[in-house]
Amino acid sequence: MDASRGRPWIRAALLAGLAYVLIGRIFAVPATHVRAWRWAAWLASGVVFATHIGYEHFKPRSSPRLTASHAAAAVALGALGLAVAGMIHTLSAGSPLRPAWLLALVVWPAITGLPAFLVALAAGALLARLWPGRDAA
């Protein structure tokens, strides 16, 4: 890899992580039809996840393992961002910061990142089988 390419996966992971945080915050605002908004947030997050996996496979042509680790990093960053946003919301509402919020900073990224890695690994392997890279042709 030449130095001019840099690390495009970091930019993509940060962008996807930011998208997850924005989706989590924006879709949590409506007070009516909460279940529908929750499903819409899941759908929007799924689109971001699938787009990120597709980007990793087709643009930098990452291996399934790299695709999975990059997608999982983005999901974990999004979960961390949502945990931080929740802490800030709690503090701005005048409530004291409970130890559970500090635990959330570790637990939320872990419980979202691991399943995301496994799903992205399977999706990356499927993409590699269906659309092999230039070298495999």
pLDDT (tens place) for every residue of the chain, 137 residues total? 433 456 779 999 999 999 999 999 999 888 789 999 999 999 999 999 999 999 999 988 889 999 999 999 999 999 999 999 999 988 998 888 889 989 999 999 999 999 999 999 999 999 999 988 654 43
> Residue type at 26?
I
Instruction: Kindly state the helix (H) or strand (E) to which residue 95 belongs, with its residue range.
Output: none
Q: Where are the alpha helices (DSSP H) in the chain?
A: 8-26, 34-58, 64-92, 99-130
Q: Does 110 map to a domain?
A: yes
Give, as one character, the DSSP assignment of residue 131: S
Which amino acid does the sequence have at 47? V
DSSP 94: T
Q: Is residue 38 part of a domain?
A: yes
Q: Decide if 1 is inside a domain.
A: no
The pLDDT value given to residue 55: 94
Please identify which residue in the block is written with the tokens 């970091």: 10
pLDDT for residue 6: 60
Per-residue DSSP letter, 4: G
Would the pTM of this model clear 0.75, i.e. be above it?
Answer: yes
Query: Residue 63 is part of which domain span?
Result: 9-132
Measuring CA to CA, which residue among 135, 121, 12, 118 is closest to residue 67?
Answer: 121
- Which tokens belong to 104? 């959330």
Question: Does 114 reside within a domain?
Answer: yes
Give domain status of residue 2, yes or no.
no
Total of domains in the chain: 1
Q: What is the pLDDT of residue 5?
A: 56
